[in-house]
Structure 1
Amino acid sequence: MLSEKSTATVRATLPAVGAAIGDIADLFYTKLFAAHPELIRDLFNRGNQNAGLQKQALAGSIAAFATHLVEHPDTRPDVMLNRIAHKHASLGVTREQYAVVHEHLFAAIVEILGEAVTPEVAAAWDEVYWLMANALIAIEERLYAEQQVLAGDVWRTWTVTGRVEETPDCTTFRLAPADGAPAPSHLPGQYVSVQVELPDGARQIRQYSLSTSPGSPVRAITVKRVHGPAAAGPDGEVSNHLHARVRVGDTLRVSAPYGDLTLRDAAAPVLLASAGIGCTPMLSMLEHLADTGHTAPVTVLHADRSPADHPLREDHRALADKLADSAAHFWYEESAELGHHTGHMDLTAVPVAPGTTAYLCGPLPFMRAVREQLIAKGVPAADVHYEVFGPDLWLASA
């Protein structure tokens, strides 16, 4: 809880800090990477930095946390904190790194806001920072303990045991621990971080959902190759490296599994909505529901450019068909194939069972549109959960 004195100061300065938070975040990263170039090389996603996405996510999370402290002083925004903590744990972030972030963040605040940062203002925002940081540290250390690893020591070497070209741009890599030990357990919907060494020596990290259920003897990730003007550069450097260079028998550094988009009530009706490569956590959930004999209604929704672009399309349909009470609806922008919908996902004619818990994964505009449609159909906002690949821009764009 923020102290009474700091609450008043943060409330008074929140408009000014909020207006400048983007510039503060930009300068913060400039200072941080100048002092610690190893962080942009081996920890932070260079593509997200180049595109400004990480800056937006940082600014959005700080502003949202401070606003919550002022407007709801007796509670914490645990949904946001848990999502960030899972991402941090999958990267091996440790408590010592929060002091480094504090140093450069507050240097950026002082430089951007100048004389407006009085000792009282600095103390109040320092309190905000450490409330957020200490909450994240506590959650992350609990996550490490649950995986029975030392804080930050999340990495193991895995061997690629299979490779399947699912679509022209999506490849599934089947994985097994290189030491022959059992794979760590995971929850349906969770992801792992994968670290690769690139030609320039950087060891870049990306997160990929496990597309198999906890009960499967196989662990697999499906990677979509990122195209675009910078596809050979930071924006798509890891996905292109995996597609072009990684073959059966090669090894990868893979983290313990994390992620907070997991099935919550095993007995409730479920709705799984995805677009593009966002289907991968949904496949893990579907396989788990089938493995455990789920009997409540399950609604499976997916949107893609065309049937040929739909990753793991046959698995998506087959797993839905295994369930006792399921309905699958696929939308394709460039296909009038019989049995499927044309255009963007439209839930007007899709029945949604009372008590449904919904899980969404895909591009942010897609998830926003589906969430609005679900709420209009009577699904409580608290029962709509989502996963974002990369920085979480939902708060930053709210």
Structure 2
Amino acid sequence: MLSQKTIDIIKSTAPVLETTGTEITTVFYQMLFEAHPELLNIFNHTNQTQGRQQTALANAVYAAAQNIEHLERILPAVEKIAHKHRSLGVKPEHYPIVGEYLLKAIKNVLKEDATDEIMQAWEEAYGVIANVFISIEKDMYTKAETKVDGWEGFKEFIVVKKVEESTLITSFYLQPKDGSKVPSFLPGQYITVRLQVPGQKYILNRQYSLSSAYTPEYYRISVKQENDQEPNGAVSTHLHRSLAEGDTLEVSVPAGDFYCDVHDSKPLTLISGGVGVTPMFSMLESVAKENPSRPVTFIHAARNQEVHAFSNDVKEIMKKLENGKSYLIYEDGNEGSDFTGYLNTKILDSIVDHDSLCFICGPVRFMEAIIQSLLETGIPAEQIQYEFFGPAMAIDTDTSVKN
């Protein structure tokens, strides 16, 4: 337990963290990787380059400072991060290293304002916060390793099939190299894929949503081809252009807190943009398989028909649902589109059941617009959930939304 004096000091520094948090976390990562370059085998380099990881960590530190005497208030955010940590292989021994360089970064940025009293308070607070993460992640590791067909860390998988779903998205069917079955997952969850890409100094990790309903035979991921000149293009380019059927990569047990309960009877609305369709398709296929009488509305937005993945699959699944509706919106409005341009409040108000649970995945700006529109139609924030591909960022809407 922290003393009241320590709590007061931490809370008094929260306003400073709000304004300097990203600067602190940027310095932190620079110092951390300079001293421990081996950690680059765990962290996503793209998120570092784009600044997303620095912003996400700054938000987390600020939230912890604001709620230091009631850390239970930020447990949902902690659990989201813990899922990613477990999936990547972050272990208890990493926390003292992170703490050392986070404190050094705070001192580096705040300079003389970082008094001995403040630094001591933050050292104590970090220890408490780290123990919360370690405890939650320990339970997650145990569950991953002890569930039926589970394993510890990473396991070799073989690419048994590679299917082009659109001009941008390709699916990879992955089976354990040892011939075992794969553990179950909740529709919407992801796996971490770990591989060594030629020309890259460090091992690269990427988290991809599972894009099909559960089957014990394989996992399927569906990956968008990113621009190979961009920082986030190294892995997707390798997967698309170089990884062939019969090749191997390493996979961790599925993780993630973004999923739907397929057995719930409440109406379900699944809204996706671009490659955000991957977790939504897993949910759709799972509901059709296990609860086909449930009312489901599937809405997908894409640039055009050429880049749209799973269009025929969705049509086939809709035949299996007793109360299923699907809508397409293409920016260029070509054949097969129900609407032209962009999803907006008027369209959503006309096709979304206001009693439904809404799941959203896609580019950040897309999700911001959709969430704001759903709120404007009168759908309560607690009925809306969304998923980031990468570190959680702030969603800019007028109303706080559950994530």
Q: Same fold (TM over 0.5)?
A: yes
Alignment map for 1:53-72 (pairs within 5 Å)? 53-69=52-68
Equivalent residue number for residue 48 of structure 1: 47
Distance 1:324 1:77 in 2: 39
Equivalent residue number for residue 33 of structure 1: 33
For the 8 Å contact 2:191–2:252, the answer to whether it is kept is yes
Distance 1:16 1:293 in 2: 50
Match of 2:306 among 287, 299, 308: 308
Q: Which amino acid aligns with 1:144?
A: Y
Distance 1:371 1:390 in 2: 19
Number of residue pairs the alignment of both structures matches: 392
Note if 1:356 corresponds to 2:353: no
Equivalent residue number for residue 331 of structure 2: 333
Secondary structure of the corresponding residue to residue 187 of structure 1: coil
Match of 1:123 among 104, 113, 120: 120
* Deviation by residue 1:147-186 (Cα, 9 ceiling, x = unmatched): 1269993201001110111122211111111100111211
For the 8 Å contact 2:226–2:232, the answer to whether it is kept is yes
* Deviation by residue 1:308-359 (Cα, 9 ceiling, x = unmatched): 1112222133223421112111111122425521111124243433532111
Note if 1:317 corresponds to 2:315: yes
**Greater RCO, 1 or 2 (C-alpha within 8 Å, sep 6+):** 1
Equivalent residue number for residue 4 of structure 1: 4
Q: Which amino acid aligns with 1:111?
A: N
Residue 218 of structure 1 deviates from its aligned partner by: 3.8
Distance 2:161 2:336 in 1: 33
Match of 2:85 among 84, 88, 93: 88
Alignment map for 1:185-264 (pairs within 5 Å)? 185-200=184-199, 201-215=201-215, 217-227=217-227, 231-232=228-229, 234-264=231-261
For the 8 Å contact 1:212–1:218, the answer to whether it is kept is no
What TM-score comes out, normalization by structure 2 length?
A: 0.91
Q: Which amino acid aligns with 2:94?
A: Q
Q: What's the C-alpha RMSD, in Å, of the aligned pairs?
A: 2.3
Residue 14 of structure 1 deviates from its aligned partner by: 1.4
Classify 1:69/1:236 alpha carbon distance in 2 versus 1 (closer, same or farther; 3 Å): same
Distance 2:335 2:13 in 1: 56
Distance 2:384 2:287 in 1: 18
* Deviation by residue 1:37-84 (Cα, 9 ceiling, x = unmatched): 1222x11111221222211111122112322346xx374212211111
Q: Which amino acid aligns with 2:238?
A: H
Between 357-366 and 257-266, the greater mean CA deviation after superposition = 257-266
Distance 2:232 2:178 in 1: 32
Q: Which amino acid aligns with 1:203?
A: I
Residue 32 of structure 1 deviates from its aligned partner by: 0.5
Distance 2:186 2:252 in 1: 14
Note if 1:343 corresponds to 2:341: yes
Note if 1:14 corresponds to 2:11: no
Residue 104 of structure 1 deviates from its aligned partner by: 0.5
What TM-score comes out, normalization by structure 1 length?
A: 0.92
Distance 1:218 1:108 in 2: 44
Classify 1:300/1:127 alpha carbon distance in 2 versus 1 (closer, same or farther; 3 Å): farther
Distance 1:394 1:327 in 2: 31
For the 8 Å contact 1:92–1:153, the answer to whether it is kept is no
Match of 2:282 among 284, 291, 298: 284
For the 8 Å contact 2:188–2:283, the answer to whether it is kept is yes
Alignment map for 1:34-183 (pairs within 5 Å)? 34-40=34-40, 42-69=41-68, 73=70, 75-148=72-145, 153-183=152-182
Q: Which amino acid aligns with 2:353?
A: A
Q: Which amino acid aligns with 1:8?
A: D
Moved over 4 A (4+): 149-152, 395-398
For the 8 Å contact 1:59–1:396, the answer to whether it is kept is no
Classify 1:313/1:117 alpha carbon distance in 2 versus 1 (closer, same or farther; 3 Å): same
Between 318-327 and 278-287, the greater mean CA deviation after superposition = 318-327
For the 8 Å contact 2:144–2:152, the answer to whether it is kept is no
Distance 1:386 1:216 in 2: 27
Consecutive unaligned residues of structure 1, counting only runs of 5 or more, are none
Classify 1:259/1:74 alpha carbon distance in 2 versus 1 (closer, same or farther; 3 Å): closer
* Deviation by residue 1:334-391 (Cα, 9 ceiling, x = unmatched): 2242552111112424343353211111111111111122222232212211111112
Secondary structure of the corresponding residue to residue 348 of structure 1: helix
Residue 282 of structure 1 deviates from its aligned partner by: 0.7
Classify 1:313/1:294 alpha carbon distance in 2 versus 1 (closer, same or farther; 3 Å): same
Distance 1:360 1:64 in 2: 24
Secondary structure of the corresponding residue to residue 103 of structure 1: helix
Q: Which amino acid aligns with 1:21?
A: G
Distance 1:161 1:128 in 2: 48
Q: Which amino acid aligns with 1:320?
A: M
Distance 2:75 2:225 in 1: 33
Note if 1:273 corresponds to 2:271: yes
Secondary structure of the corresponding residue to residue 392 of structure 2: coil
Secondary structure of the corresponding residue to residue 207 of structure 1: strand
Between 373-382 and 98-107, the greater mean CA deviation after superposition = 373-382
